[in-house]
Amino acid sequence: MHPCYEVDNFSYKLATTPSTKCLVIYISLSFFSLVTTCGNLLVIISVIYFKQLHTPTNSLILSLAVADLLVGVLVFPFSIAFTVTSCVYQEHLLCKLRDSFDVALCTSSILHLCFISIDRYYAVCKPLTYTVRINDRVAAIMILVCWGVSVLIGIAIIVAGFSQGKCEGNCSVDVLLANIMGPVFSFYLPAIIMLSIYLKIFLVAQKQARSIHNTKSGATVSKMERKATKTLAIVMGVFLLCLTPYFLCIVFEPLSKESTPLAVIEALNWLTLSNSMLNPFIYAFFYSWFRSAFRMIISGKIFQGDFVNSKL
């Protein structure tokens, strides 16, 4: 029985007085939404405010943070509403909106990570041509492609009516073609491309580490690029760990004789959403300049003077 429901005169309805378990679920998920929103807002403010962070790579990170922020602001409330009320209110509209935002922002995130892996490939494997091939204009085009494709997919889900979830079933895309072909092109194929690129980067970085005989400054630059690549590879790794279980589930569910329990689908969906909350913590843990920026923003120091050109 759903923790937020009760039986009244043999009818199953939303409890007028929520149980303790229901309140704990609601408060916990609301807290996750708040942390996701605030964490990504810190990343966005940091990259926009501090001039030192105005690089093509950080532009992509900024755009990725915007996608994660929208997950906290848009997807989390819809998902909380479904988790707590089990899609009682306007179930078809709620499911459509939830799926549209969820799939669009998920697609946006993985496309951003694809372009970030390309950025890292040129930074580590082709450092002499990096500034020519990856500049602000190229980064802007990458960002436009990410959001353009994502918005089109989000609109297609609503217009095509793929979301047919009901309260008895799963509030998720329920079309065989969408459940199999969608993940292949929006998740598995990009994931394989990213893994291949990062494997190539790892091999080149290992080769560089063994053969560096240049100046100290050249070695330092190379070391910084490899560290940045390692951090962004961890971001991608966390992304895959959070999303792979859900995509495996929805791909193999149509092939199973029994439907996956709703509680399992919900748990896996929340695991995918948690990725948007984790990225800012990864940046803060691995990047000293993001830690410095976060401290200055949280303490309110940036409001006490002009620190745009500060050395982080």
Q: List the one residue out of 76, 48, 74 whose CA is nearest residue 274.
A: 76
Task: State the alpha helices, DSSP H only, in the chain.
Answer: 20-49, 56-70, 76-85, 91-125, 130-133, 136-160, 176-183, 189-211, 216-252, 262-286, 288-298
The percentage of the chain sitting over the pLDDT mark of 90, rounded to a whole number, equals 16
pLDDT at 235: 77
Q: Dig out the tokens for 149 from the structure.
A: 């494709």
Burial degree of 300 (CB within 10 A; 0-12, 13-18, 19+): exposed
pLDDT at 92 over 70: no
- Say whether pTM exceeds 0.85: no
pLDDT at 89 over 60: no
- Convert the pLDDT of each residue in 28-71 to its tens digit: 888 999 999 999 999 999 999 999 899 998 999 999 999 999 99
Q: Is 236 or 27 the better-scoring residue by pLDDT?
A: 27
- Residues near 260 by beta carbon (within 8 Å), at least 6 away in sequence: 170, 249, 253
Which position has the token pair 């609601």? 26
Amino acid at 293: A
The percentage of the chain sitting over the pLDDT mark of 70, rounded to a whole number, equals 76
> For the chain, what are the domain ranges?
19-209+218-303
Question: What is the average pLDDT value for the chain, to the nearest integer?
Answer: 78
Local structure of 173: helix, strand or coil: strand
Cα distance between residue 293 and residue 310, in whole Å: 9
- Residues 116/118/124/125 CA torsion (nearest 10 deg): 170
Q: Which fold has domain 19-209+218-303?
A: Rhopdopsin 7-helix transmembrane proteins (1.20.1070)
